[in-house]
Amino acid sequence: MGTKLRKNSQSQRVLALNLGNRLTDSVTMTKNGMGFFSKLFGKSDLRQEAEQQIKDIQREWRPINELYWNLYHAACQATRDVKPYCTPKKLAEPIHEFLLRQEFLYFLLHITQSLAHGLNFTPSERDDLCEILVFEIDFSMGEVPEACRSESREVTIHNANVAEMDYASSKEVYPIDDPETLGDSVYAKLARKIEEKLGREHNFEIARQIILATSRQLRAANIPNLLREIRPNLHKHAEISRSAPF
């Protein structure tokens, strides 16, 4: 835990989701290119190989794509759940919802890394996981104008790393024996961060609702099972992410 997300170069800023799709498209072109010869000579070994490659790529990338989507969806849904507690002043700010969602996302990224630690991922595997998770930042910034995206991305990665260091210093996950949520547990820290984004002073009842909303979405995200599925191909996908030229 406490592993920092790496700042990839601008040329490498591409979603692994899109990379997986491009690899699939490449194999599909190979498959289609065999169509003419298949009509003449029947189903060739090359076409069978291409079809198997498509299936293999789709199988390998499915849990990673699902993890990206589940983390993003969980952050979005948690944002919707707590938005009624937002003050009118905060609601009037143009990017308040984006900042609120990103705060939930930082928490979810930390939990994902913590769960990997609990599943006995090696230090090298956790570094590879961070390489994959950095693309979740890109995935979350679709509405940011292209002209502002590079700077926003640097700020977002910095904020994610600051949040990770803060959460990683906690000794407890839940605010046990802390009914006022004033302690240093991971969830108590999250609640106070979200309250700030809502424009609220600390209120233990609002903090409780934040924790409940986040816990619901975390359970639905199915992160431990997805990490188990990703693990066998984790290093390969991290290397693809590191070397992506586009």
Q: At 57, is the pLDDT very low, low, confident or very high (cuts 50, 70, 90)?
A: low
pLDDT tens figures, 79-103: 999 999 999 999 999 889 999 999 9
Residue 237 C-alpha from the chain's centroid: 15
Q: Who has greater pLDDT, 46 or 191?
A: 191
Mean pLDDT over 208-222 rounds to 97
Q: At 60, is the pLDDT very low, low, confident or very high (cuts 50, 70, 90)?
A: confident
Task: Name every residue whose Cβ is closer than 8 Å to that of residue 2 and which is 6 or more positions away in sequence.
Answer: 164, 165, 168
pTM attached to this predicted model? 0.80
Average predicted confidence (pLDDT) for the chain:
83
pLDDT tens figures, 102-143: 999 999 999 999 999 999 999 999 999 999 998 888 888 888
- Which pLDDT belongs to residue 146? 86
- Which pLDDT belongs to residue 213? 97
Residue 17, pLDDT above cutoff 70: no
Other residues' Cβ atoms within 10 Å of the Cβ of residue 199: 16
Q: At 28, is the pLDDT very low, low, confident or very high (cuts 50, 70, 90)?
A: very low
- Which pLDDT belongs to residue 242? 78
Residue 53, pLDDT above cutoff 60: yes
Minimum mean pLDDT among 56-70, 122-136, 171-185: which range?
56-70
Domain ranges of the chain: 61-243
How many CA atoms within 13 Å lie on the side-chain side of 242? 13
Q: Which of 3-12, 142-151, 229-238 has the highest mean pLDDT?
A: 229-238
Mean pLDDT over 166-179 rounds to 94
Residue 29, pLDDT above cutoff 50: no
